[in-house]
Amino acid sequence: MSVSGEMILAGRPTRGEGAPFAASNPATGSAIAPDFPTATRDDLERACAAADDALAPFRALGPADRALFLDRIAEELAADANAIVERAMAETGLPRPRLEGELARTMNQLRLFGRVLREGAYLDIRVNKALPDRTPPRPDIRLSMVPVGPVAVFGASNFPLAFSVAGGDTASALAAGCPVVVKAHSSHPGTSELVAKAVARAAAACGLPDGVFSMLFGNGADIGAGLVADPRIQAVGFTGSRAGGTALIAIAQARPQPIPVYAEMSSINPVLLLSGALEQRGEAIGKAFAAALTLGAGQFCTNPGLLLAVEGQGLDSFVSSAAAAIRATTPATMLNRGIHRAYCAGVRRLASHPAVTPLAQGVSGDGWVCQTALFTVSARDFLAHPELHEEVFGACSLLVRCRDAVELRTVLAALEGQLTVAIHAEGADDQAQAAWLLPLVERKAGRILFDGFGTGVEVCDAMVHGGPFPATSDVRTTSVGSLAIARFLRPVCYQNTPDTLLPAELRDANPLNLPRTCR
């Protein structure tokens, strides 16, 4: 497949009639053909109307048939893998192995939800049969989860495949039975087109209603805002900046009928370096930290942007090792001009902050590249300056030096919500300290990990990629892993309903053979 500048409107390749834009190659800054005409308000209206029409037939399809659709999307992506990866390389500056890995992960994610659908436990089916002889008699009541309705998904810049057009939000929403309207990220429109066409081919092959999937080009203020405000849209998935997320939340809350926005926004992912671990293996942790920090130019939501440690010899050896590794890092191209600009501004802000001292910088370079940066600040100053708690998206981190474990805990308590908190611990003293810290850590983050870094988010049943605000807008959910499907479901119960009128999953004979809890 070649990139032609088309959107997918209600399942069909369609050329927009709005103002065109082009992608830029972040390695060279030059535009990449072709142009992508954007969606008009009328295109948006048609996509939302078709999604609304598709809800009932898509909901009626049953989990096993939707699983076939997800599997088929994975197959269509595989069939077009080379074109997708090459276009993504050109549009994002990310290297081939990373994008091949990300495509594999995206396909696995679709298949994971296929498995979730076939198992059926996600429906939480509950059957309470009538108890006519009880006083008062109990009616027959049966509960299942149903799709919330059409879902708007915003492609993310930093994962052009796994958090974009056919990424986790789309996969989990489709799995739940929700038609999806994607607003593609303007950083990788060609990649978005190729992926969207794979989804559309899969939908057509499975005979699904047209409106099950649309993908539009357009800017956030017009098409993005219009999508969230559209009365047919019932939930929103977003991965991006805090400013972007809070803007969407405000639109969603101002609707006559407010809707949930699942925004994954901002996290500095504190790493707690306990004294025993630093003493035993400060040097090794320093190297591992530098590797985690610079991976993918630091453009991960789970990038280790904050280190908390108690002063001492172990910390010194960690710092020398991390600094040496950082000084040797070659600069990597960032995703786009805006991200590069924001990164440089963030680094400058830290470098010029009176309370902050630079520890190390990576090699610099030309173009939109990320020059790795590590700074340090005392715990006292960090506590006094909340602006230092803000995320700098990219390979930049801040080491907070604490006098003792109590001060370290005070710093942790002052932090906002996080996606991850990592703890490095070695020996009995560290273990005791970790045990003392954990109840607080648990309140701060969705994922707690030991002796590692949060980068690398496993797609599995037990993953939580979520956390308290502002890490996400909804602490009750995850955007990665099989539990992500719960974001797009709502419970409905049927009382005293004739068997033939019940949804198939609730009928007496259990024709879909799904697990149910009966009492």
Give the closest residue to 190 by CA, choosing from 337, 29, 21.
21
- Residue count at the site for a copy of itself (CB under 8 A)? 73
Report the DSSP pairing between strands 270-273 and 332-333. unpaired
Q: How far is CA 266 from CA 160, 190, 307, 362, in A?
A: 18, 27, 16, 24
**Closest CA relative to residue 145, chosen from 401, 414, 483, 492:** 492
As measured in angstroms, the least distance from the Cβ of 460 to a copy of itself is: 5
CB of 330 to a copy of itself, least distance (A): 23
CA–CA gap between residue 489 and residue 485 (Å, rounded): 7
Round to whole Å and give the CA distance between 213 and 217. Answer: 14
Reference 421, options 201, 218, 221, 273; nearest CA is: 273
Two tokens at 1? 């497949």
Closest separation between CB of residue 75 and a copy of itself, Å? 22
Q: Give, as ranges, the residues between 141 and 160 that touch a copy of itself (CB under 8 A).
A: 141-143, 146, 148-149
Q: Segment 446-465, which members bind a copy of itself (CB under 8 A)?
A: 446-452, 456, 458, 460-464
**By CB under 8 A, what part of segment 406-425 binds a copy of itself?**
416-417, 425
b/e for 177-199, b at 16 or more Cβ within 10 A? bbbbbbbbbbbbbbbbbbbbbbb
**CB 14 to a copy of itself: min, Å:** 27
What residues numbered 43-62 form the site for a copy of itself, per CB under 8 A?
55-56, 59-60
Q: Is 258 in the site for a copy of itself (CB under 8 A)?
A: yes
Q: Which of 70, 249, 265, 350 binds a copy of itself (CB under 8 A)?
A: 249
Residue from 363, 435, 508, 513 binding a copy of itself (CB under 8 A): 435
Cα–Cα distance measured from residue 126 to residue 128, given in angstroms and rounded to the nearest whole number: 7
Which parts of 496-515 interact with a copy of itself (CB under 8 A)? 496-498, 500-501
**What is the footprint of a copy of itself within residues 478-497 (CB under 8 A)?**
478, 483, 489-497
Residue 12 in the binding site for a copy of itself (CB under 8 A):
no
Catalytic residue among 48, 178, 301, 396: 301
Q: Are 202 and 170 in contact (CB under 8 A)?
A: no
Subset of 161-200 contacting a copy of itself (CB under 8 A): none
Quote the least distance from Cβ 452 to a copy of itself, whole Å: 6
178 is catalytic: no
Could you tell me if 195 and 184 are in contact, meaning their C-beta atoms sit under 8 angstroms apart?
Answer: no
Binding test (CB under 8 A) with a copy of itself, winner from 257, 354, 387, 509: 257
Answer for which of 97, 207, 439, 509 binds a copy of itself (CB under 8 A) is 439
Amino acid letter for position 185: H
CB-nearer residue toward a copy of itself: 187 or 455: 455
Distances (CA, A) of 69 to 8, 152, 198, 432, 488: 17, 19, 11, 49, 17
**CB under 8 Å to 285, separation ≥6 — which residues?**
273, 277, 278, 318, 321, 424
List the interface residues with a copy of itself, window 55-114 (CB under 8 A). Answer: 55-56, 59-60
For residue 220, give both structure tokens: 């956030």
27 binds a copy of itself (CB under 8 A): no
CB of 357 to a copy of itself, least distance (A): 29
264 counts as catalytic:
yes
Q: Which residues pair with 361 in a beta bridge?
A: 373
Residue 58 CA to residue 178 CA, distance in Å, equals: 7
Residue 221: DSSP 8-state: I
Instruction: Choose the stretch contacting a copy of itself; rule: CB under 8 A; options: 162-170, 334-342, 368-376, 470-478.
Output: 470-478
Q: Can you tell me which of 95, 139, 365, 511 binds a copy of itself, judged by CB under 8 A?
A: 139
Toward a copy of itself, which CB reaches closer, 180 or 360? Answer: 180
Give the residue numbers marked as catalytic. 264, 301
